Structure 1
Amino acid sequence: MPKQIEDKKKILVRVKKIQGQVHAIERALEGDTPCAAILQQICAIRGAMNGLMTELLEVHLKDTLVAGESTEQQRHDELSDISKILKSYLK
């Protein structure tokens, strides 16, 4: 969880936008929207999710590895955890 209020607000705004995009796809599927338009919206959501991942990762690294008061072992463990998450994300 982001430690800075402004970071948390920015991330929550991104999540709410993504929720709006997902709801738009739901409405499009319930309606008569052409598949190409729905596929384009899915692409937009994927880009938004990538942006969310990037921003949250940046905040997390800043909060835990740069600004955090942690031992070398804790930083090593955190880096290992983040590496596993990134490998999973990039599959």
Structure 2
Amino acid sequence: MTHLSKDPAKLVSRVRRLQGQLDAVARQLEGGADCGDVLQLVASIRGALNGLILELIDDHVRHHVVDPAHEADPARAKGASDLLAVLRTYLK
């Protein structure tokens, strides 16, 4: 998995934070928390998960498809950069 990130411990830490947030949702649901509070927490989880997904896709594209910073063909480099930019916007 080393190609997925320069810092795998950082990815694992993000996953653990997500687990903690999901546990908090379960506690809120079991405790009868206000629906607005639950929805706010779920929305923050969605944002955190999208950030993790984006980082994994970015690493995958750069390692397995084409790294725009090291691509000799300008058209391929631009295509990869454009794809990653669209993904950043979509997963924001």
Tell me the TM-score normalised to structure 1 length. Answer: 0.64
Aligned ranges 1:50-65 → 2 under 5 Å: 50-65=50-65
Q: Alpha-carbon deviation of 1:11?
A: 1.4
Does the Cα contact within 8 Å between 2:18 and 2:45 map onto a contact in 1? yes
Q: State the match for 1:13 in structure 2.
A: 13
Residue correspondences, number? 71
Give the aligned residue type for 1:65.
V
Unaligned runs of 5+ in 2: 68-79, 81-86
- Note if contact 2:25-2:41 (Cα within 8 Å) is conserved in structure 1: yes
Which structure is richer in relative contact order (CA contacts within 8 A, separation 6 or more)? 1
For 1:21, what is the secondary structure of its paired residue? Answer: helix
- Runs of 4 or more consecutive aligned structure 1 residues displaced over 4 Å after TM superposition: none
Change (3 A) 1:7 1:59: farther
Distance 1:4 1:55 in 2: 8
Aligned ranges 1:1-91 → 2 under 5 Å: 1-3=1-3, 6-66=6-66
Q: Which residues of structure 1 form unaligned runs of 5+? A: 68-78, 80-85
Q: RMSD in angstroms over aligned alpha carbons?
A: 2.6
1:22 positional shift: 0.3
Measured after TM superposition, the shift of residue 26 of structure 1 is: 0.3
Structure 2 residue aligned with 1:75: none
TM-score by length of 2: 0.64
Between the aligned residues of both structures, percent identity stands at 41
